[in-house]
Structure 1
Amino acid sequence: MKQKEIDSFYQGFSAEVESEQCGWIVDKYGISWQIVPRMFLDFATKLSPATYQQINQQILTMKKIEIAQIEKLI
């Protein structure tokens, strides 16, 4: 999933863009969704524990996930 896809999910689903933390959005029906790039699924097994922890800490500071900021840590 590239940033363009993430942005389109936020614009299409979120009732208030950038209102939630850590990639979570709430749609107009009040249902919560977490937008998670595919690359994140491999992080726990393919990255060092230190890098994985840095990425998790970075994500905690984000509302919408910004892939470019995460890629700087890899």
Structure 2
Amino acid sequence: FDGLAAGEYDIRLFGDNGHDRLMTSTSMVVSEPEPEPEPEPEPEPEPEPEPQNSGCPICGTENEIGASLCVVCGYSFK
């Protein structure tokens, strides 16, 4: 029963649009609808891991990962 306020109701049947009650239903209870649940917040996305940089900060030459010295300019990786 959409649109009805919460409460106890019965249905009545009257004859020929008059005031003679022909039938009455048993009582029925209309209750308040359950509230809509709150949506769960979206989880924060996992940060992307930063790619491991093997380039020399001085000359930009790519070096082997784990190298301690740049093969071109001699920069010391720490």
Same fold (TM over 0.5): no
TM-score with structure 2 length normalisation?
A: 0.19
Structure number with greater CO (CA < 8 Å, separation at least 6) is 1
From the two aligned structures, give the one with the greater helix fraction: 1
Name the one with the larger strand percent. Answer: 2
Instruction: Decide which structure has the larger Cα Rg and report it.
Output: 2
Question: Normalising by structure 1, what TM-score?
Answer: 0.20
